[in-house]
Structure 1
Amino acid sequence: MIHETALVQSNSLGDNTNVWQYVVVLPNAQIGANCNICSHCFIENDVRIGDNVTIKCGVQVWDGITIEDDVFVGPNVTFTNDLYPRSKQYSGEWAKTQIEKGASIGANATIIAGITIGKYAMVGAGSVLTKNIPAYTLWYGNPAIQKGYITASGIILSLDLIDRKTNNKYTLENGVPTLVE
């Protein structure tokens, strides 16, 4: 479904992808299947968006950004793609930013150009992310710092790998939080 007020110039939209009011998608953008692109978003040309991605209202996805499958991008998340911006002076090459499978970015977070957010990692609302973050980690603040871990199913763990709700203990196996039986 493409809303009548959206301007979608790309022919590369997957099945069952919804594009809502006042969205602009430039011609070379690639968007996968079963995505939800909410109102007032802008998606530039050199952008790759995987399957099952949700991009909430007011997000601009600039050239050089790749968003893998199953990613959640909260409302008004700000991506950048130029570390040294100047008016009318373009480098011709944009920093590459990678948001890996299953990651979640909270509302109003700012993502500085050229970083990678690892698989299933979570960035808290309002955070300013200035460096790469590993898979399965929880970061927030300004600048964002690691505050814990998170499982693929969304269980928040402390820095010492304990689920404070259940007191279950986890260990890292190849960087993946795993319940200690």
Structure 2
Amino acid sequence: MLKVKSGDTDKLGLLYERHKKRLFGFFYNMSGNASLSEDLVQNVFVKILKYKHTFTGEGSFDAWIFKMARNIYYDHFKKYNRKIDVNPLSSIEYKLQDSDDVNAKMDYNDNVVQLRVALGKISQEKREVLVLSKFKEMKFSEIGTILGCSEGAAKVKAHRALKDLKTVFMQMEKI
């Protein structure tokens, strides 16, 4: 990123190749919309080019780029006055294959569907913390930077979000 900042914009392609999947996953786990996620990934790299001068090299590049991604995500919904809505079933496909463990695969797929539905039922802030910590496997210090809080506060938020997700998931199991 420091090379991009100094004017070697050809290196932006390398950054794109390294980070596009993680960013797409973040947006997709937040929105459940593949098309929107692709657009938002592109927006991140446009903003990187526009605001390259703000990158100082101090701290984690991942935290800097995901903070930008988070702002782009929320700005998108503010700009279009849209409600953030996750379609939890849009990302799950059942693939039945000839094998001895079809029932195990079906149970696993059912649990994944239930987890997606449960994620859709918790608040946007809690879903965001879980996506960053569990799906993107970011460090709590980076999550704290992204969310604008301390590392300890990020841990507490993740713990509470996981607790709420478990509660929602267990309630769904009873139904």
Between Structure 1 and Structure 2, which shows a larger proportion of strand residues?
A: 1
Larger Rg: 2
- The reply to whether TM is greater than 0.5 is no
Between Structure 1 and Structure 2, which shows a larger proportion of helix residues?
A: 2
- Of structures 1 and 2, the one scoring higher in RCO (CA 8 A, sep 6+) is 2
TM-score w.r.t. the length of structure 1 is: 0.25
TM-score w.r.t. the length of structure 2 is: 0.26
